[in-house]
C-alpha cells in the first residue's frame, strides 16, 4: 500500500522535473534558466529522498544533504556573476 502511494509521488515529481525542463529549453534570459535549475535541484532533493525510502537505505540520504548545500552555492555564484560582483 505504501509502495503504491510512494510510486504515485515519485511519478508526480518526475513530471514536475520534465515540465521545468521545458522552461530551461525555452527561457528567454539567463535568469529564467537559473530559476529552472534551482527548482530542478530542489525537486531532485525530494526525488533522492523518495529513492532512499523506496530502496530502504539510509546512506542515500547523504547525497541529498550534499545537494542541499551545493545547489545553493551554484545559484549564488551565477547570481553574483550576473550582477558583476563575483
Q: Which of positions 30-59 make contact with another protein (CB under 8 A)?
A: 30-51, 53-55, 57-59
Give the single-character DSSP code of 1: -
| Least distance between another protein and beta carbon 10 (Å) | 7
| Least distance between another protein and beta carbon 70 (Å) | 4
The size of the chain, in residues, is: 86
C-alpha cell at 44: 531532485
# residues contacting another protein (CB under 8 A): 78
Q: Are 82 and 31 in contact (CB under 8 A)?
A: yes
| Least distance between another protein and beta carbon 79 (Å) | 4
Of 54-83, binders to another protein (CB under 8 A) are 54-55, 57-83
**Whole-number Å distance between alpha carbons of 86 and 12:** 37
- Which residues fall within 8 angstroms of residue 35, CB to CB, at 6 or more apart? 23
Of 5-34, binders to another protein (CB under 8 A) are 5-25, 29-34
Amino acid at each position: 500500500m505504501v509502495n503504491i502511494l510512494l510510486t504515485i509521488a515519485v511519478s508526480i515529481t518526475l513530471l514536475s522535473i520534465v515540465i521545468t525542463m521545458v522552461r530551461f529549453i525555452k527561457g528567454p534570459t539567463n535568469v529564467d534558466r537559473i530559476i529552472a535549475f534551482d527548482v530542478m535541484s530542489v525537486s531532485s532533493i525530494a526525488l533522492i529522498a523518495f529513492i532512499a525510502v523506496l530502496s530502504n537505505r539510509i546512506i542515500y540520504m547523504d547525497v541529498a544533504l550534499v545537494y542541499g548545500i551545493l545547489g545553493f552555492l551554484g545559484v549564488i555564484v551565477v547570481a553574483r556573476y550576473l550582477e558583476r560582483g563575483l
